[in-house]
Amino acid sequence: MSQEQFWVLFSKKLSGEASAEELAFLESMIQSHPEWQYAIQNLTDLWKNQSGVDTTAGEDAYMLHLHRMNEMNISLDAVSPEDRSTVPAKRRMLRWYWAAAVLLVMAGLFSIRTLSGSSRGDEVAGHVNEISTRPGSKSKVQLPDGSVVWLNAGSKLTYNKDFGIETREVMLTGEGFFDVTKNKEKPFIISTSSIKIKVLGTAFNVKAYPEDKQTETSLIRGSIEVTIRNRPNDKIILSPSEKLVVENNIARLEKNNKQLERKTGNIARTELPVINTLMSINKLKYNPLDSTVAEIQWVNNKLVFRDESFSELAVKMERWYDVQIDITDLQIGEERLNGIFESETIFQALEALKESIPFQYEKNGSKIIIHR
C-alpha cells in the first residue's frame, strides 16, 4: 500500500465512512509502519482543531444541488431508480472525498521519511526517523517516550528507531520547542550543528538554523546542560528564564586556528576569541501585559520581534510566509523594529512595517524586493 492510499483510507476513518474491514486493515498498517504514527496523531489534531476549513462542504454542495432541483420543481421521482439509489452513497462519497482532500493538503505541511544508513557499503541497520516541516508551516510531534516537540517552519528532527530503549537522543536542524518527559535513567540529548543539550525533564526552546549567525537556547523551566561543539570541556548550566546565545562561526574560527598552527608551528591562542565573545547568557524578557516570552510565541502562531533589525526580521518572515525577501537598501535593513504578526498575510505585514519605515516593495513570483 502506498502512502497516498494510506492517507485516503485514513481520511475515510476521519469522516466516519470506513468499514470495519478497512479499519482493521488500517490498524494493521499503522502497526507495520510506526514511523507514520506521529503524522497520524498530528493530522488528527489538525483535523479536530482546524479553522477556516469546512469539512462538510462537499455534502453541503450536494444538498444545495438537491435544493435547487426542488426549487425548479424537479422531483427526485424524475431521477432514474438506478441514480436515486446511489444518492446516499454519493453523499457519503462526497463527505470522505472532501476529508481526503483536506487531509492530503494538511499532510503536505510536513513530511516523514524513513532513512537507511550504511557505513562504506556495509549492510548496517542504521534506520532513523526524520520529521520535517516546510517553510510556512509548523508541526507538533509526540515522541515514543511521551515527550512533545513543536517544530517551527523549515525545521527537521531526526532520531533512531530504538529511541527510548537505551538512549533518548535527537538531532535538530531549525527551531523546536521541547517539553521533555522526565527520566533520570535516560537523559534526553539534543544535538545541533554547534551545541549539544542534555536534559532530564524540562521545557525549553532551541533555535539552530544553520544559516543564522547564532544558535539560541531559551529555558522556560527545569535545568539543562549545554556543551559547545569543539569545546567539550565548556559546559554551561542554564537556570529557568535564561537564554544562551552561541555564535555559529565557532567551528570556522577553530578550523582557521588549526590551519594557522600547522603553518606556523605555534599555538595561536590569541587568534581564537575568548569564550565570552562567542557566547552569552541573558535573562528572558517577559511581556508585562501577559507574561509571555517572545522566544516561544511562534508555538502560539505569533511572530514576535523585539528590537530586531529589518534584515533579521526578514529572515524570520521568509520562513514564516515561505517567501524570499531581498532588501536592496542597507540602511533600511539596519532599521530596528518591534511588533507582533499573527493572522496577517505577507502583504498586510509589509504594509504594517511601512508605517514605521518608509520603503517600497515589489513582488516577483515568490520573491519580494524591498527598496526605497
CATH number at residue 311: 3.55.50.30
Residue 348 confidence (pLDDT): 95
Is 256 within the bounds of a domain?
A: no
What CATH number is given to the structural domain containing 223?
2.60.120.1440
Confidence grade of residue 3 (pLDDT, cut at 50, 70, 90): low
Confidence grade of residue 356 (pLDDT, cut at 50, 70, 90): very high
Cell of residue 326, nine digits: 531581498
Domain boundary residue among 108, 133, 157? Answer: 108
Phi/psi at 76 (nearest 5 deg)? -65, -20
Is 154 within the bounds of a domain?
A: yes
Distance in angstroms (rounded) separating the CA atoms of residues 208 and 192: 7
Same domain, 66 and 98: yes
More confident: 109 or 195: 195
Is 264 within the bounds of a domain?
A: no
Distance in angstroms (rounded) separating the CA atoms of residues 88 and 76: 13
The mean pLDDT value of the chain amounts to 75
Same domain, 94 and 51: yes
Domain boundary residue among 93, 108, 123? Answer: 108
Same domain, 141 and 45: no
Confidence grade of residue 327 (pLDDT, cut at 50, 70, 90): very high
Instruction: Report which DSSP code applies to 266.
Output: S
Residue 53 confidence (pLDDT): 45
Is 235 within the bounds of a domain?
A: yes
Residues 6+ apart with CB under 8 A from 257: 268, 271, 272
Chain segment 110-125, per-residue pLDDT in tens: 444 444 333 333 333 4
Is 291 within the bounds of a domain?
A: no
Is 294 within the bounds of a domain?
A: no
Chain segment 74-112, per-residue pLDDT in tens: 444 444 444 444 444 444 444 555 555 555 544 444 444
Domain boundary residue among 59, 89, 108? Answer: 108
Decide if 282 contacts 242 (C-beta within 8 A).
Answer: yes
Residue 203 confidence (pLDDT): 93
Chain segment 303-318, per-residue pLDDT in tens: 999 999 999 999 999 9
Chain segment 11-54, per-residue pLDDT in tens: 778 777 778 888 888 777 766 654 565 566 656 665 565 544 44
Same domain, 87 and 122: no
Identify any residues that bridge with 142 across adjacent strands, giving them in sequence order: 148
Summarize the confidence of residues 185-211 as an average pLDDT: 92
Instruction: Report which DSSP code applies to 348.
Output: H
Q: What percent of the chain has pLDDT over 70?
A: 65
Residue 194 carries which side chain, given as an amino acid letter?
S
Summarize the confidence of residues 246-269 as an average pLDDT: 51
Distance in angstroms (rounded) separating the CA atoms of residues 247 and 269: 18
Residue 176 pLDDT > 90, yes or no?
A: yes
Same domain, 123 and 57: no
Number of domains making up the chain: 3
What is the residue range of 15's domain?
3-108
Is 296 within the bounds of a domain?
A: no
Same domain, 222 and 317: no
Distance in angstroms (rounded) separating the CA atoms of residues 183 and 153: 29
Residue 91 confidence (pLDDT): 46
Is 183 within the bounds of a domain?
A: yes
Same domain, 230 and 218: yes
More confident: 277 or 70: 70
Residue 116 neighbours by CB distance under 10 Å? 10
Same domain, 76 and 133: no
Residue 11 confidence (pLDDT): 75
Same domain, 317 and 358: yes
Residue 23 confidence (pLDDT): 84
Residue 340 neighbours by CB distance under 10 Å? 15
* CA 111 to chain centroid: 10
Residue 285 confidence (pLDDT): 85
Same domain, 97 and 137: no
Same domain, 220 and 121: yes
Same domain, 152 and 99: no
Residue 115 confidence (pLDDT): 42
Residue 326 confidence (pLDDT): 96
Residue 121 confidence (pLDDT): 31
Summarize the confidence of residues 164-175 as an average pLDDT: 93
